[in-house]
């Protein structure tokens, strides 16, 4: 549970913005969306390898 203390005379929009920022940092929504569907371990591993190859390709292009 997130607790956002509201200061005396603080605008509610500002407090709501702080709440949204804090909520995003917790990663709750990302975790819920990830859990909605199951990915096989082989698919996850393949995606990680493809991402690593892509990043390595970018780094190799920078060096040239």
Does 55 score more than 80 pLDDT? yes
pLDDT band at 46 (very low <50, low <70, confident <90, very high): very high
Of the pLDDT bands very low, low, confident and very high (cuts 50, 70, 90), residue 36 is very high
Tokens of 36: 């909605």
Is a pLDDT exceeding 90 seen at residue 63?
no
C-beta of residue 49 within 8 angstroms of C-beta of residue 41: no
pLDDT above 90 for 2: no
Find all residues with CB under 8 Å of 40, minimum gap 6, and list them: none
Q: How far apart are the first and last CA of the chain?
A: 49
In angstroms, rounded to a whole number, what is the distance separating the alpha carbons of residues 29 and 22? 12
Average pLDDT estimate for 4-14: 91
């Amino acid at each position: 549970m997130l607790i956002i203390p509201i200061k005396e005379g603080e605008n509610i929009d500002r407090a709501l913005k702080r709440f949204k920022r804090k909520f995003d940092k917790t990663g709750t929504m990302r975790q819920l969306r990830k859990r909605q569907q199951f990915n096989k371990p082989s698919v996850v591993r393949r995606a990680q390898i493809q991402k690593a190859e892509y990043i390595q390709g970018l780094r190799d292009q920078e060096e040239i």
